[in-house]
Each structure stands twice: as structure tokens, then as C-alpha cells.
């Protein structure tokens, strides 16, 4: 078979056998799939040899680009020792070293706060890190003799993953509503979505009114609420919705006031995306539990951690017969290959001064956002560091969104693809989230392709 036939055969096999995530397969099978074979730096190559700029970091995971020498070597070296052994009843070297590094990192990020995070619980993807956090919080209160805390609180527009616990605390209707009857009790608080404020108010005059609403819920139900889970600074999958300054700090204060654990879901925001190692650092909000995944291995391998405070950990200690054990764990928990990749990734942050070097690129992004807000069908632009969203609207004056059937976000993405850029929108929101290591030149290429995609798809000038 020639290359073309071979590729067409692969396409056929893909259509025949793969059920793609978050994908309407009826549409997928009518299109030509892009099949990736190779990656280098911030680019990915398809089977026909066409290169695309990886504008969403391979779903928000990639930090240093593809085929990063140091991470490749760390994985290969680990492979020479052992690929996997379990953390149930055994330990392994990279998992131990990584746990220490993560705790030292959290400690310095949170300025050596006395109630900082001190224990690492491993799992293998963002959703499981959230499940762990929820179960940990729930069981913690039981051990403290508090039997009433059987519910959670979270935000409208929240996204914490796709397992049922994570969906229970989710708030994105199109993803989550279908599962309503399966979900546990969660109090939903208003999303700090200033552009479409649920109360029709404006920041800063509103004095962050949505925090008052959150407090109302806490005041009324704190006896029931084990924990409040939040994506700090930016609700990512809900539409890159950034919270106003002071909101996160306010959340931390309210959780403390009402004896509710604060779970920070830093799965999307962690590892430098917001311009600091963790988003919580921006407002000095030290969470009781923190979930990390995605960028932890530089985008190489599935790995996640749930960090907890000493106070939480201690509540689980006792004789075995007391059944205070945290009965949770996965087959690939603490996988040595993934931990080796994560160690290399953390070394790279130091060696390459990734976060310091990001600041100039964040400014380029911000300037570009200021420019595109002038386009006819751009209703709102927002960013938390290097995570940005451009919300497209049919009518700017009335903020009327494009009808879902118009697939405007997707149309923009397809136009950008013509210019060699791969992006994946969230409905009408164009997501910009390239690898942190992207060069200024490639960042500009990405932004120009998106701008021209918006102009062409919306007909805006």
C-alpha cells in the first residue's frame, strides 16, 4: 500500500473502531480525521506530513513542547529500571522523590504557611484527583465526629471531570444535566462570570455580590457542607470564565469562617498556566486540599495528585480495626514512569525559568486580547495569565450568543486550521492555551491565525 492508501486505511479504522471523547460521532465519521504521528516543540504533525501549531497544549497538558529531551531521557532512564510497580503495599523511588518535591514546592508557593499542604495522594487523571479530594473531605468529617456533612458546594459553570463524583460538583449544563438522577447533593453557588453576571451587576460596583450569595449558602447549610470545590481564578472548561480580583481570597475566608474545607482544583491552572506555579498563589488562598494533574508530567503521561494538609491526614490515623483507613487507590497510582516524567518537568521549571520567561508572553497575549475586543463579534475577552478565552457573540450590544447550531467556535477553529493552527473551542469561546515554552514568534503566529479565523468565520471587521 502507498502512503495515501495506508493513511486512508487508518482513517477508516479510526471511524470503524474509535469512539472519541466529547465528540458527536455521527459528525466525526463524516469528516476526515487528523491523525497525529509526531510532535516537536509546539508543533504536531499528521500522517500526511502537515504540521500544526498545538494551540491548546494537547488539551491543556503540554508545558515544554513535544519531544522535550530532558523528559524523554527521564522516561527512558526509568524504563531501564522498572515501568510500573504498585503503591499498594509497596513504594517506589520516583514517587517518593516527586512527593517531596511537590510538598516543598507547595510550601514555598504558599510562603511557608503553617496550614500548608504536606501529604501527597497519587492517582492517574484529573477526575480521579477530584474523586479522591471529595472522598477525603467527606471521610475527614466523619473521623472528626461530624456526621452531618454529607453534601458539597460548588459553582455554576464548574468543571471538575467526568466521573460521577466530579460530575456531581460540576455545573456545565450541556455536559452534566443528563446525569442528574445519579448525582449526590451539591449546593450550587453563582459563577463569578462578570460578563454575564447572574445578578445583572457590574464589577467593581457590585463589591463582588456573588460572594455574598455564596455566604448565604454557607450560612444556611454549613452543617451539611463538607467542602467547597473551586477552579481558582478561572473556570476553564465552563468557558474560560475569570473571577474578579478578591473573589478567591473571599472564598478562602468564607470556607474558614463556616468550617468548610476548601478544595482547589488546579488541574487546569496548576504548573504555571496562570503566571504563577499555582493559581491560588495570586490571592494567597491556601487550600485544605489541592488537585493537580495535566501539566504535572509536562503533558507526557497520565498522573495526578491530591495534596492534603497535616490536619486532614492526621484525622485518618488510628488502629486498623477503627477503619479510619482511606480505602481508595488505582492500579496505576504513583506510576514510576509518570513520576519520573514529573520530576524532569519540575527540574525544567527551575532550569528554564519557565514562569519568569512567561511574563513577556502573557503581555503579548493581553495586548492581542485588547486588540480583538474591537472586532464586531467579540463580546468579551478574558485571561488568567497564559489561559485566555475570547467569547464570540451574535450581537455585541445585546450580548446575544450565537445559536449552538451555528457552531461559530468550531468554524473559527477550522479557519485557524487552514493557517496551520490547531485549537479546540468551548462552544462560542475560543480557547488560547499554548505550551508555556512557546516562542514569541510562534505565539504571534497562533494569535494572528485565530484573529484572522474570527474575522473570516464571523464576517467581522
**Interface residues toward ligand PMP, by CB under 6 A:** 125-127, 130, 159-161, 231, 236-237, 265, 267-268, 293
Specify the residue, 267 or 358, whose C-beta has the smaller distance to ligand PMP.
267
Q: How far is CA 272 from CA 72, 127, 269, 296, 434, in A?
A: 21, 20, 7, 10, 12
CB of 110 to ligand PMP, least distance (A): 19
Q: CB of residue 402 vs ligand PMP: minimum separation in angstroms?
A: 23
Closer of 125 and 442 to ligand PMP (Cβ) = 125
Q: Which is nearer to ligand PMP, 94 or 239 (CB)?
A: 239
* Smallest separation, CB 186 to ligand PMP (Å): 15
CB contact set of 408 (below 8 Å; sequence gap of 6+): 377, 392, 402, 428, 457, 458
Residue 425's DSSP bridge partners are none
Q: Least separation, in Å, of the C-beta of 459 and ligand PMP?
A: 31
Which whole-number Å values give the CA distances from 156 to 151, 193, 196, 242, 285, in the listed order?
16, 9, 12, 13, 21
- Cβ atoms within 10 Å of 323's Cβ, excluding its own: 9
Nearer to ligand PMP, 122 or 159 (CB): 159
Q: CB under 8 Å to 353, separation ≥6 — which residues? A: none
CB-nearer residue toward ligand PMP: 289 or 457 = 289
In the chain, DSSP finds a helix count (H) and a strand count (E) of: 15, 17
Residue of closest CB approach to ligand PMP: 126
Torsions phi, psi for 200 (to 5 deg): 65, 20
Nearest CB to ligand PMP, comparing residues 234 and 255: 234
Cβ-based nearer residue to ligand PMP, 217 or 291: 291
CB of 444 to ligand PMP, least distance (A): 26
Shortest Å distance, C-beta 364 to ligand PMP? 24
SS3 101: helix
Q: Are 247 and 356 in contact (CB under 8 A)?
A: no
- The residue assigned the cell 496548576 is 270
Q: How far is the CB of 265 from ligand PMP (least distance, A)?
A: 5
CA angle 161–130–198, rounded 5-degree value: 60
Q: Quickly count: other Cβ atoms within 10 Å of residue 366's Cβ.
A: 14
Containing H/E element for 42? Answer: none
Q: How far is the CB of 293 from ligand PMP (least distance, A)?
A: 5
Q: In this complex, which beta carbon is closest to ligand PMP, that of residue 61 or of residue 457?
A: 61
To ligand PMP, the closest distance from the beta carbon of 322 in angstroms equals 32
Q: Which is nearer to ligand PMP, 160 or 451 (CB)?
A: 160
Nearer to ligand PMP, 99 or 130 (CB): 130
- How far is residue 322 from each of residues 192, 226, 312, 317, 457, measured CA to CA in Å? 42, 21, 17, 9, 62
Task: Dump the DSSP string for 160-203.
Answer: --SSHHHHHT---HHHHGGGGGGPPPEEEEPP--GGG-TTS--T
What are the distances in angstroms from CA 123 to CA 84, 92, 217, 247, 326?
14, 14, 31, 29, 13
H/E run at residue 94: helix 93-109
Residue 130 beta carbon to ligand PMP: minimum distance, rounded to whole angstroms: 6
Instruction: Return the biggest CA–CA distance within the chain.
Output: 70
Q: How is 413-443 classified by DSSP, letter by letter?
A: HHHHHHTTEE---BTTEEEE---TT--HHHH
Comparing CB distances to ligand PMP, the nearer of 94 and 161 is 161
Name the minimum Å distance from CB 373 to ligand PMP.
Answer: 25
Amino acid at each position: 500500500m502507498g502512503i495515501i492508501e495506508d493513511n486512508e486505511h487508518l482513517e477508516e479504522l479510526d471511524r470503524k473502531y474509535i469512539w472519541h471523547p466529547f465528540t458527536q460521532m455521527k459528525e466525526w465519521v463524516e469528516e476526515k480525521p487528523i491523525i497525529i504521528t509526531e510532535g516537536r516543540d509546539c508543533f504536531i504533525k499528521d500522517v500526511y506530513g502537515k504540521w500544526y501549531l498545538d494551540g491548546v497544549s494537547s488539551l491543556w497538558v503540554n508545558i515544554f513542547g513535544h519531544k522535550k529531551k530532558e523528559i524523554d531521557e527521564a522516561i527512558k532512564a526509568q524504563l531501564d529500571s522498572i515501568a510500573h510497580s504498585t503503591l499498594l503495599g509497596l513504594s517506589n523511588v520516583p514517587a517518593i522523590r516527586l512527593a517531596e518535591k511537590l510538598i516543598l514546592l507547595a510550601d514555598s508557593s504558599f510562603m511557608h504557611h503553617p496550614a500548608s499542604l504536606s501529604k501527597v495522594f497519587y492517582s492517574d487523571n484529573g477526575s480521579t484527583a477530584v474523586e479522591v479530594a471529595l472522598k477525603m473531605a467527606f471521610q475527614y468529617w466523619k473521623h472528626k465526629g461530624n456526621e452531618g456533612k454529607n453534601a458539597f458546594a460548588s459553582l455554576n459553570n464548574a468543571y471538575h471531570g467526568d466521573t460521577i463524583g466530579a460530575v456531581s460538583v460540576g455545573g456545565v449544563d450541556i455536559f452534566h444535566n443528563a446525569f442528574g438522577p445519579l448525582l449526590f447533593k451539591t449546593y450550587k453557588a453563582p459563577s463569578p462570570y462578570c460578563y454575564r453576571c447572574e445578578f445583572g451587576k457590574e464589577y467593581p460596583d457590585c463589591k463582588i455580590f456573588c460572594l455574598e450569595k455564596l455566604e448565604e449558602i454557607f450560612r444556611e447549610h454549613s452543617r451539611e457542607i463538607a467542602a467547597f470545590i473551586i477552579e481558582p481564578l478561572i473556570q476553564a472548561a465552563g468557558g474560560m470564565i475569570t473571577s474578579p480580583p478578591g473573589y478567591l481570597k473571599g472564598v478562602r475566608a468564607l470556607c474558614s469562617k463556616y468550617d468548610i474545607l476548601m478544595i482547589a482544583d488546579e488541574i487546569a491552572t496548576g504548573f504555571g498556566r496562570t503566571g504563577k506555579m499555582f493559581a491560588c498563589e495570586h490571592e494567597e488562598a491556601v487550600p485544605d486540599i489541592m488537585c493537580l494533574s495535566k501539566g504535572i508530567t509536562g503533558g507526557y503521561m497520565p498522573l495526578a495528585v491530591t495534596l492534603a494538609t497535616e490536619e486532614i491526614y492526621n484525622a485518618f490515623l488510628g488502629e486498623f480495626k477503627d477503619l479510619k483507613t482511606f480505602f481508595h487507590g488505582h492500579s496505576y497510582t504513583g506510576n514510576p514512569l509518570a513520576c519520573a516524567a514529573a520530576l524532569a518537568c519540575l527540574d525544567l521549571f527551575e532550569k528554564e525559568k519557565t514562569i519568569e520567561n512567561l511574563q513577556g508572553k502573557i503581555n503579548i497575549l493581553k495586548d492581542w486580547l485588547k486588540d480583538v475586543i474591537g472586532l464586531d463579534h467579540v463580546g468579551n475577552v478574558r485571561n488568567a495569565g497564559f489561559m485566555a478565552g475570547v467569547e464570540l457573540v451574535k450581537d455585541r450590544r445585546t450580548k446575544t450568543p450565537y445559536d449552538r447550531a451555528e457552531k461559530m467556535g468550531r468554524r473559527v477553529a477550522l479557519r485557524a486550521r487552514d493557517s496551520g493552527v490547531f485549537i479546540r473551542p468551548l462552544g462560542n469561546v475560543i480557547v488560547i492555551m499554548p505550551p508555556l515554552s512557546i516562542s514569541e514568534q510562534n505565539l504571534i503566529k497562533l494569535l494572528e491565525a485565530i484573529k484572522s479565523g474570527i474575522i473570516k468565520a464571523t464576517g467581522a471587521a
